[in-house]
Structure 1
Amino acid sequence: MADDVELTILMPCLNEAETLATCIGKANAFLARTGIRGEVVIADNGSTDGSRDIALANGARVVPVAQRGYGAALGTGIEAARGRYVIMGDADDSYDFANLDAFVTQLRDGADLVMGNRFAGGIAPGAMPWHHRYIGNPVLSAIGRRFFHTPIGDFHCGLRGFSRAAVLGLKLRTTGMEFASEMVVKATLAHLDISEVPTTLSRDGRSRPPHLRSFRDGWRHLRFLLLFSPRWLFLYPGIALLCMGLLVGAILLPGPLHIGQVALDIHTFLIAALCVIVGAQSIAFAVIGRRFASRYGFIPRSGTYDRILEALTLERILAIAIVLMLVGLVVLLWGFGQWAERGFGRLNPNSTLRAMILAMTALVTGFQLMMSGFMSSMINIPIYERRVADPAPPLHSDQA
């Protein structure tokens, strides 16, 4: 690390020969105008069009990145950066590297992450496809704000600045386009100082299609947001299904319910039982997912969740599971007796069949809880290395 380098302007690159020189020129012009001690770094992801030579000829430092992917290129570039601060942006001439003053000001004032907002700064005609501008970006940004309570208005702006040390501390892992979401999500969960500044977006200066694939990369962003929020993926839907199933089941357990000309009977009772089973399993997945994510550093630890997870010991989960399975088994044996009395014929839907559905629901739910309890406990096993047999220490001369 060079102590006198304040800013690294980082650009990921994969065959950007048409626009790379322009982007580097703007970045160098910004450094010259402001007098900031800085460097321009090109994280080259295997270009074959002469981009490396262009970068070197224009005074940039090239960092080769063997692993393909937007996140892989940026991650390696951030590690190789010499500046205290890093401003990253695409090398397609859509971002104005000559005007980064607002980013530097925020970083110097103590911000850990400064996001650009293209919707606040202005998007040139044709610079962003309509389905990105009015559907993809707004929807994914809204989901990110809802799931993680982040104030960011433009979740996927590619022009952003940050403290190198702070971002390295986040231990970003993704290698694709979802790297952009991971940075914002982990910075929010780590309670870093995040701010936002308006920035402009111009038309892509390349003649070839962009590397971005709308539906593939949009799904990768959405998948990442869901996987990093077990509450929204598993817990809340599970609680909703479980409560709905228990409520409807309790209403229909004594007999059918008539609402006008509509009769809710055994089939609705069966659907309620399925909601209970799926809801319980979804809640169990939420517990397992949260424990796994916290354990391996994907999500920061939470005191509230840790206390809940500590209370959910394997023994307590097994006790609940065994009670459910015993209740289900007793009711199932009673129902089998009723079935035998009828000569193994048709069951009475108003009494015996309801009890059998209840028994099977208790059995299945209990079995699911038992398996989920064991899986959660496996994740919680302490991880450390221990030598089974250490070599005996050498004998001293007086012990020989």
Structure 2
Amino acid sequence: MSVRAPEISVVIPCLNEEEAVGKVVDQALEGVRRSGRTGEVIVVDNASTDRSAEVAAEHGAIVVHEQRPGYGSAYLAGLAHARGTFIVMGDADETYPVQELAPFVERLAAGDDLVMGSRFEGTIHGEAMPWLNRHIGNPILTGLLNVLFGVKISDAHCGMRAVRSDALPVLDLHSTGMEFASEMVFKAFRRKLRISEIPIDYYPRVGESKLNRFGDAWRHVKFMLLYSPSWLYFVPGLVLLFLGAVGAIVLAAGPVTVLGRTWQIHTLFACIFAVLLGTQIVQLGVFARAFAASHLGERDPWVERWRGRLSVEHGLAGGGVLLGIGLVTIVVIFANWAIDGFGALAHEYATAIGFTLLALGTQVILGSFFLALLTMRTTEPSRATVVERVPVA
């Protein structure tokens, strides 16, 4: 006889929360009852050294043991065991009102894919959130997520949220640390899932906090930057490249006087540095986006648009043109220098530009080969012919 799968799975990560986890399980079960649906509560014990797992089981939870440390590791293990159509996520320290999960489930049942709780739109009770977290940390991290990924949300790191089980394969979550919270949100927006927010109450935690304020914040920032090549690479790289190129073009023929000040070859060197550095940064951004699209399953319209239009040969041609112009410039200058008896080099500015073009051409050519390697398919579709087998009598 098959056991019918529950409609709701409440997944709660737990690390040494013996004092609070039993009450949280009771609240989650109460929330399931209030929703009028069937459900289960899964507590993921993340290598606790107290009786957290035993207490959770005594209160009716299914206990999953995950030895790999990390907030994300615990959730990945819990989500893998969840059988419900609607998955509600909360913490084991009594900070979130999991007994009020019904509105989250109703939003999912109405068609939303991810429903976020919002502590800032709701009520933060007492000293539940330290001043630094409330007024600096969370607003900055949420703001970064909104800017870098086009997210529109008020509390990106709220631990009470709900997701449809059929949305999990689309999200394809991998993070093992606190950055798991950011990954879920930005992937949901990037992959066009339906998202909404519900104001919630946030209460002071029971027991000792496991958060590392600055370490966890850095993990979030690092993760967001890694998944945002446009801001990490293209914005600073293009700014450097543009400013350097303009300056180099202006100074190519020699010193220039602007606003009563003469800009000479030292300024040209700075512009050349900006051009080379900017080109390298932009190139790294192209590599990052191409690799993510080819090997990490990320959909990137920019990569898809240009993949069919540009090839290694285009890169070789462009790099070859730069290399050729630079080489001709250098050859002509050194030929004149030799004719003049190898005296003082009179074309310092043009020489600097020529070597810059040589460097850029080489960079583009080698980068084109590397980009082709990054986007190369590791397996080819099989061309084997299927032969129908005739059963032997």
Scaled by the length of structure 2, what TM-score is found?
0.92
Give the corresponding residue for 2:218: 219
Gaps (5+ residues) in structure 2? 383-393
The CA distance in 2 between the partners of 1:306 and 1:93, in whole Å, is 46
Letter in 2 for 1:177: M
Aligned residue pairs total: 386
Q: Deviation of residue 386 (structure 1)?
A: 8.8
Alignment partner of 2:379: what SS? coil
CA offset at residue 308 of structure 1?
A: 1.5
What is the match of residue 254 of structure 1?
Answer: 253
Find the counterpart in structure 2 of residue 180 from structure 1: 181
Write out aligned runs for 1:27-46 (5 A).
27-46=28-47
Letter in 1 for 2:296: G
How far off is 1:156 after superposition? 0.9
Q: CA deviation at 1:341?
A: 5.9
Alignment match, 1:25: 26
Q: How many Å separate the matches in 2 of 1:365 and 1:322?
A: 10
Structure 1 residues 2 and 315: CA distance shift in structure 2, 3 A: farther
CA shift, 1:35, in A, is 2.8
SS at match of 2:201: coil
Q: Secondary structure at the match of 1:169?
A: helix
Matched residue SS, 1:40: strand
Equivalent-residue separation in structure 2 for 1:210 and 1:338 (angstroms) = 73
1:372 alignment counterpart: 367
Q: Which residue of 2 aligns with 1:363?
A: 358
Shift of 1:3: 4.4
1:289 corresponds to = 288
For 1:132, what is the secondary structure of its paired residue? helix
Question: Is the Cα contact below 8 Å between 2:21 and 2:93 reproduced in 1?
Answer: yes
Deviations 1:262-301, CA, capped at 9 Å, x for gaps: 3222111111111111222222222211111011234224
Structure 1 residue aligned with 2:321: 323
2: CA distance between counterparts of 1:381 and 1:32?
52
Instruction: Name the amino acid aligned to 1:291.
Output: A
Judged with a 3 Å threshold, the aligned counterparts in structure 2 of structure 1 residues 386 and 231 are, in CA distance, closer, same or farther, namely closer
Q: How far, CA to CA, are the matches of 2:4 and 2:239 in structure 1?
A: 54
- The runs of at least 4 consecutive aligned structure 1 residues that moved more than 6 Å come to none
- The equivalent of 1:392 in structure 2 is none
TM-score normalised by structure 1 residue count: 0.90
Q: Identify the residue that residue 311 of structure 2 maps to in structure 1.
A: 313
- Separation of aligned partners in 1, 2:342 and 2:88: 75
**Aligned residues: percent identity?**
38
Contact conserved, 2:116 with 2:162, CA < 8 A, in 1?
A: yes
* Separation in 2, partners of 1:66, 1:345: 73
Q: Does the 8 Å contact 1:96/1:200 carry over to 2?
A: yes
Structure 2 counterparts to residues 203-282 of structure 1, below 5 A: 203-206=204-207, 209-282=208-281
Q: Distance in 2 between matches of 1:55 and 1:210?
A: 19
Aligned residue identity for 2:265: I
Q: CA deviation at 1:165?
A: 1.6
Worse-superposed segment, 191-200 or 26-35: 26-35
RMSD of the TM alignment (CA)? 2.4
Query: 1:196 aligns to what?
Result: 197
Q: Deviations over 1:223-281 (max 9, x none)?
A: 11111121111122222221111111222223323233432221111111111112222
Conserved? CA contact 1:228–1:298, under 8 Å: no
Specify the code of the residue in structure 2 equivalent to 1:235.
Answer: F
**Conserved in 1, the CA contact under 8 Å of 2:34 and 2:102?**
no
Tell me which residue corresponds to 2:82: 81
